[in-house]
Structure 1
Amino acid sequence: MEYRIPPGTEAVEKLEDFIVVNRLAPNTRIPSERDLCEMWGVSRTTLRQAVDTLVGRGVLYRVNGAGVYVSVGKKNRNMVGVDSMVGELRQQGSILAKKIISVRKVEATKQISKKLHVLLGQEVYEYILLRKIDDVPCFLETTYLDCERYPDFEKYYTDKTSMGRILKNVYHRKQISGEEHISVTYASEQEAALLEIIPDSPLFFTSGVVKDEEGVIIMYYKQLIRGDKFKLVSRIESE
């Protein structure tokens, strides 16, 4: 009996071979859905499933309204150590940039007051940031800091400055340790638009606090991380 490769699996293999044979560089747009269907004689449903599979593996990525592109591959997001992500990505040769979507002073909710160890209703800074890696939006981050402990913080922190350096050099608070929790969520329409993905795409959701050398909580943060661009890694070292 002759074994036949399922159409979906065959389409995935054809796509992977097409990328390799044609030596498509990262961030190169692949041919249109129509052209690939005609080239291989497969249905659009089958091709879309194959693209979805490779997007999930981090081989391809979608840009809303612009097509499907070859990915640079998933990067590591180290879960151990404060600011380790930024340092490791730079070591990997990535170009990092951020954009402050909004900054405002808000009253601490019950959750924020518990995380920051401040009074309920106390004024805190809320920063919403979009972080890009190699010009691709990958992180949507919300950070909260105590206004009383860090007065005039908004005067120092911009798209071009480092939060860690400002805390260290201006407020003499060094980020030493932290606690982080992780789960999986799905992108809302607004989140998807900012991250340039389709709504309901899977995202990693991380939240945690950062502490200084005295164990005092510096900030509380929440991050949405594109699942097609990152894998989360935790390093364990034996004593």
Structure 2
Amino acid sequence: MSTSEKQTRKPRKSYLEARKRLLEILHSPDFNSGDQIPAERELCELLSLSRMTVRKLLAELVEEGVLERRGNQGTWLLDTPIERPLQPALGIGKILELNGAVPSSQLIYFHVSTASARIARLLHIAEGDEVVMIKRLRLADGQPFCLETSYLPRARVVDLSAEMLEEAGSLYRLLAERYQIQDVYDEGTLRAAAMNEEEHQLLQAKPESPALVYRGVIYDRQRRPIEYLVSVNHPQRVAFRINGGLNEVDAPAV
């Protein structure tokens, strides 16, 4: 095989799948912009790949600007240069009503798990403590526009169930009425990121299109974290508007 043929040969399917799995890990809630990623040896074990393949994948992502190497300090997710806080926290239902759209949602899953080191740090709980994980597809006039994953300390919502959430319709209303958690506000970041296969399918987005991803911690009036939220927003159906320091999400009817 000639040199030119080697250069134009398409990557193997197994290699592309490995790249996809690595990106899904890096875009998971356990990582944020500016975080250091696991060492090559750990990634090899996590992905069941050879050291050579992992090094090649990391080199590609460095070249593409997803990662950066810092000498002998390791490899890091590229830090977002500008962070704009989005507050106050406002329920999706209320936001859509203000935009003249009819809100609805689909509960993708609801279960109790244990907090990873990152989630524990964000929620000010111990690693391994129970957290309620909720994933919901949010719709405006029947069209999906964002996929939200919430992590709540189980100790703050000890009896919260999927049935209660679906009956109430609004998580924040349920927090206020049942758990007396009111006057919540959020601090978070917004950045463009690649979507995984599930996100593309659920949001009915065009293949390879990026998403607007909001990651934020929701606090109560005593400044205690009550929720870590990851919101993956359809790039053509959601616009984040900032006005006079008060921010809200525009999700126009589509």
Normalising by structure 1, report the TM-score: 0.63
- For residues 27-46 of structure 1, what are the structure 2 equivalents within 5 Å? none
> Does residue 211 of the first structure (1) align with residue 219 of the second (2)?
yes
SS of 1:114's partner is: helix
| 2:145 aligned residue (138, 161, 168) | 138
Aligned counterparts of 1:215 and 1:185: Cα–Cα separation in 2: 29
Q: 1:26-175 to 2 correspondence within 5 Å?
A: 79-83=86-90, 86-154=93-161, 155-158=163-166, 161-175=169-183
Query: What is the DSSP-based 3-state SS (H/G/I as helix, E as strand, rest coil) of the residue aligned with 1:170?
Result: helix
TM-score normalized by the length of structure 2: 0.59
Aligned partner of 2:14 in structure 1 is none
Letter in 2 for 1:210: I
Q: In structure 1, how many angstroms separate the alpha carbons of the residues matched to 2:160 and 2:92?
A: 23
Of the three residues 212, 228, 244, the one matched with 1:236 is 244
Q: By percentage of residues, which structure has more helix?
A: 2
Judge conservation of contact 2:86–2:186 (CA < 8 Å) in 1: no
User: Alpha carbons of 1:121 and 1:227: their partners in 2 closer, same or farther (altered >3 Å)?
Assistant: same
Question: Does structure 1 retain, via aligned residues, the 8 Å contact 2:86–2:189?
Answer: no
Aligned to 1:193: 201
Q: Distance in 2 between matches of 1:232 and 1:92?
A: 13
* Superposition misfits of 4+ residues, deviation over 3 angstroms: none
Separation (CA, whole Å) in 2 of partners of 1:164 and 1:96: 15
Q: Point out where structure 1 has 5 or more consecutive residues left out of the alignment.
A: 1-77
State the identity %: 24
Contact kept in structure 1, 2:190 and 2:215, CA below 8 Å: yes
* Partner Cα distance (1:157, 1:115) in 2: 23
The residue identity in structure 1 corresponding to 2:157 is Y
